[in-house]
A and B are shown apart, each in its own frame.
Chain A
Amino acid sequence: MRAALIASLLPLLGLAAGCALLKPVEPPTVEASVELDAVPFFPQDRYQCGPAALATVLSATGLPVSAEALVDDVYLPDRRGSLQAELAAAARRHGRVPFPVAAGEEALVAELRAGHPVLVLQNLGLDSLPRWHYAVVVGYRAEEAHWVLRSGRERRRRESVRAFRRHWRGADRWGLVVLPPGQLPAVAGPRDVVDALAAAEPVLGAEAILPGWTQASARWPGDADLAFAAANGLRAAGRPQAALRRYRQAIANDPRHAAARNNLADLLLAYACVGQARAVLAPALAALDDDDPLRPVLAATAREIEQAEPAACRLENTQEELQP
């Protein structure tokens, strides 16, 4: 009875005492501290934490850039702030690949250990009265259980685990890892990596992104989309034999990958391997729905195969089935 009374009063006490009596905060399960001292600092001007945070992570990749130079890339004067999508787009325009960070504190520490500072969105206000703010996580001190951020006008802002968690959760734990092409985040899923590299490819160019595709495909050899994208990049780079192997890998991973079958058939056809092209394309053409957006492309490839003159195939190992 008494216990119940005390329990019912606890929330009130907690409020009065600044929430100090709420249940204790579990720090992330991390043993050792990590801090990236070399990450530069750009003290922000009024409202302009977006350009400052972006300059911080771009500079950390060795790019000489100032926060002022990024204002015209990301700042929205009438909103007095910057949008998340525009920070990612601006990173691409400066030749870097932005990846969404995995939404967990252990993932943040893993990125820091890999030398990657993380640009995060924080809500410093309330859910109903948000104050959005960008900062860059550069360290976690395990012994004091606090995070270290480049934030606002503070080079080394320290936030307790409780405060940081509230600020970050209030912004859906959104963050970006910004890397030179060819490097991948420490923690990520293949789907996020596919989307991040594909978004960067039209801006940075196929040649710049190719190392990213091959690295990602090596990290997730069983992912059909990554093998397909790597194959497209290899073909564009004039490496048909390597592209052939990657297309085969994509199809071995997912025999129903119609786009991989189509592009492999087109590659085989370009090197006069007509019979092989027909054999690769047939199952995809048979399995595709009539209203599938890829259908016109596959039909066009099939027509080209039927019109092709017989000739000697100029690729090696065209029949080889690679295991994932």
Chain B
Amino acid sequence: MLSRILVVFQLIVFLAATAALPARAAVVNTGEYLAAARAEQSLGAAGAALARADVQAQLTALGVDPQDARARVAALSPAELAQLNARLDELPAGSSVLGLIGAVFVVLLILELVGVTDVFSGV
């Protein structure tokens, strides 16, 4: 709930800030052109701002410092932002092969012994 309120607040701040920028309507910059040309990435300016705030809130919820989360989200491309916003929970998070537990460990140990996986020789 709190994160939702924060998202809305950040969106208002963002829109206020962008509205104050001097408009240079007559030129299409490369990023704007690609956003329009690549249909799958076209969140639109307001949609992108919302997605940015939403992903930032998700990173914070996963234990990232809020200041770091802001800087991390700022360097994502529109396509990456759309991808994280749509399915951050399902995306692979490369970690390591340490820290396996219980049944998973036993299953993987058997598979390892018959040569299907390489988990334990991985690290």
Q: Which residues of A contact B (CB under 8 A)?
A: 15, 18-20, 44, 46-50, 53, 72-86, 88-90, 92-93, 121-126, 129-134, 151-154, 159, 163, 167, 171, 194-195, 198-199, 201-203, 225, 228-229, 232-233, 259, 262-263, 266, 269, 292-294, 296-297, 300-301, 304
State the Cβ distance, A282 to closest chain B Cβ, in Å.
15
Give which listed residue, A46, A50, A293, contacts B94 with CB less than 8 A: A50
Residues of A within 8 A of B73 (CB): 89
Contact in complex: B75, A84 (CB < 8 Å): no
Residues of B within 8 A of A304 (CB): 26
CA distance A44 to B123 in the complex (A): 9
State the Cβ distance, A18 to closest chain B Cβ, in Å.
3
CB-CB nearest in chain A for B93: A81
Contact in complex: B72, A133 (CB < 8 Å): no
21 sampled A-B residue pairs with Cβ under 8 A: A46-B96, A77-B63, A77-B64, A78-B61, A78-B63, A84-B92, A93-B75, A121-B94, A124-B118, A126-B111, A129-B108, A132-B93, A133-B94, A133-B96, A153-B123, A154-B123, A163-B118, A225-B33, A225-B37, A297-B27, A304-B26
CA distance A229 to B28 in the complex (A): 10
Contact in complex: B30, A228 (CB < 8 Å): yes
Sorted nearest first, the 10 A-B pairs with minimum C-beta distance are A81-B93, A18-B115, A77-B63, A81-B95, A199-B77, A152-B123, A89-B75, A85-B80, A134-B94, A79-B93
CB-CB nearest in chain A for B37: A225
16 more CB-based (< 8 A) A-B contacts, given A152-B96, A259-B36, A300-B26: A46-B96, A47-B96, A48-B95, A78-B62, A80-B95, A85-B91, A89-B72, A124-B122, A126-B116, A130-B92, A133-B94, A153-B123, A199-B77, A225-B34, A292-B36, A293-B42
Residues of A within 8 A of B22 (CB): none
CA distance A167 to B117 in the complex (A): 9
Contact in complex: B36, A50 (CB < 8 Å): no
Contact in complex: A259, B33 (CB < 8 Å): yes
CA distance A49 to B98 in the complex (A): 11
Contact in complex: B76, A85 (CB < 8 Å): yes
Give which listed residue, B31, B62, B97, contacts A198 with CB less than 8 A: B31
